[in-house]
Amino acid sequence: MLLLGILLSLCLRGVIPSASPLPLTTVDCLDAERDCQADLRCKLLYRTLARCVSKEAPSGSEVRLECQKALDGLHNYLPLLACRCHRGARKEDHCLHVYWTVRMSQGYEDQEESPYDDFPGELSPMASIVAEASSLPLDGQNVCLKAAQDCGLYEKCGALRSEYVLACTKRLPNSDHCNRQKCHRALRRFLERVPEEYSLGLLFCPCTDRLCGERRRKTIVPSCSYQEKDGIQPNCLHMQSYCRKENLCRSRLADFQYNCQPSPQSPSGCVRETGAACLKSYAGLIGTIMTPNYVSNSSVSVALWCTCDGSGNQWHDCLRIQHMFTRNRCLESSIRSMGSAAPRPAENVPPSPRPSAMDQQDTARRNAHQEPGNNAVEQDEEEGVEESEDEDQFDVISLYAEKATVSNLGSGGGAASPRLSPAPPPSLLLLLLLLSASLSWW
Q: Kindly report, residue by residue over 253-311, the tens digit of the pLDDT.
A: 999 999 999 998 888 899 987 789 999 999 999 999 999 999 999 889 999 999 999 99
CA distance 202 to 283: 11
| DSSP code at position 288 | B
Residue-level pLDDT at 147:
93
The pLDDT of residue 350: 52
How much is the pTM? 0.71
Residue 373 scores a pLDDT above 60: no
Please give the C-alpha separations between residue 301 and each of 199, 265, 327, 440, in angstroms, as whole numbers.
19, 21, 9, 84
**pLDDT for residue 208 is more than 60:** yes
By the 10 Å C-beta count (0-12 exposed, 13-18 middle, 19+ buried), 8 is classed as: middle
pLDDT digits over 14-66, tens only? 433 333 333 356 799 999 999 999 999 999 999 999 988 887 777 777 888 99
Residues 6+ apart with CB under 8 A from 317: 237, 311
Instruction: Express as a percent the part of the chain with pLDDT over 90.
Output: 50
pLDDT in the model for residue 149: 94
386 pLDDT exceeds 80?
no
Q: How confident is the model at residue 377 (pLDDT cuts 50, 70, 90)?
A: very low
Predicted confidence at residue 438, as pLDDT, reads: 54
Whether 411 has a pLDDT exceeding 60, the answer reads no
Give the separation between CA 219 and CA 217, rounded to whole angstroms.
Answer: 6
pLDDT at residue 436, as a whole number: 60
Mean pLDDT of 80-103: 93
Q: Is residue 257 a contact partner of residue 330, using CB atoms and an 8 Å limit? A: no
On the question of pLDDT at 155 being above 50, the answer is: yes
> Which of these, 281, 299, 298, lies nearest to 290 by C-alpha position?
281
111 near 263, Cβ under 8 Å?
no
d(CA 132, CA 351): 10
In one-letter notation, the amino acid at residue 62 is E
Cα dihedral 301, 303, 309, 311 sign = negative
- How does residue 425 score in pLDDT terms, banded at 50, 70 and 90? low
- Give the residue with greater pLDDT, 409 vs 7: 7
Residue range 111-116: average pLDDT?
Answer: 85
pLDDT of 58: 73
Among 90-99, 247-256, 407-416, the least confident range: 407-416
Report which of 146, 163, 171, 285 is spatially closest to residue 223, judged by C-alpha positions: 171
What's residue 229's pLDDT? 80
Q: Which of 109-113, 315-319, 375-379 has the lowest mean pLDDT?
A: 375-379
Neighbouring CB atoms inside 10 A of 56's CB total: 5
The pairing of beta strand 302-304 with beta strand 292-294: antiparallel
Count of CB atoms situated within 10 Å of the CB of 322: 15
Which residues are within 8 A (CB) of 269 and not within 5 positions of it... i.e. 6 or more apart? 262, 263, 275, 329, 330, 332, 333, 334
Is residue 100's pLDDT more than 90? yes
pLDDT of residue 345: 38
pLDDT at 180 over 90: yes
Dihedrals phi, psi of 302, to nearest 5 degrees: -125, 160
- Per-residue confidence at 134, pLDDT binned at 50, 70, 90? very low
Higher per-residue pLDDT: 323 or 381 = 323
DSSP string, 30-90: HHHHHHHHTSHHHHHHHHHHHHHHSTT---SHHHHHHHHHHHHHGGG-HHHHT-BB-TT-T
Query: In this predicted model, which residue has the larger pLDDT, 24 or 221?
Result: 221
CA–CA separation, 377 vs 371, rounded Å? 13
Q: Lowest mean pLDDT: which of 279-288, 349-358, 381-390, 432-441?
A: 381-390
Q: Let me know the angle formed at the C-alpha of 203 by 274 and 363, rounded to the nearest 5 degrees.
A: 65
pLDDT at 189: 96
Spatial separation of the C-alpha atoms in residues 435 and 442, rounded to whole Å: 11
Q: Residue 4: is its pLDDT beyond 60?
A: no
**Domain spanning 123-336 has what CATH number?**
1.10.220.110
The mean-pLDDT minimum among 74-88, 279-293, 342-356 falls in: 342-356
Indicate the average pLDDT of the chain.
Answer: 76
- Residue ranges covered by each domain of the chain: 29-101, 123-336
Examine the pLDDT at 12 and tell me if it is beyond 70: no
Cβ neighbours of 166 (radius 10 Å): 13
Segment 177-197 shows an average pLDDT of: 95
The pLDDT of residue 364 is: 55
Give the model's pLDDT for residue 375: 42
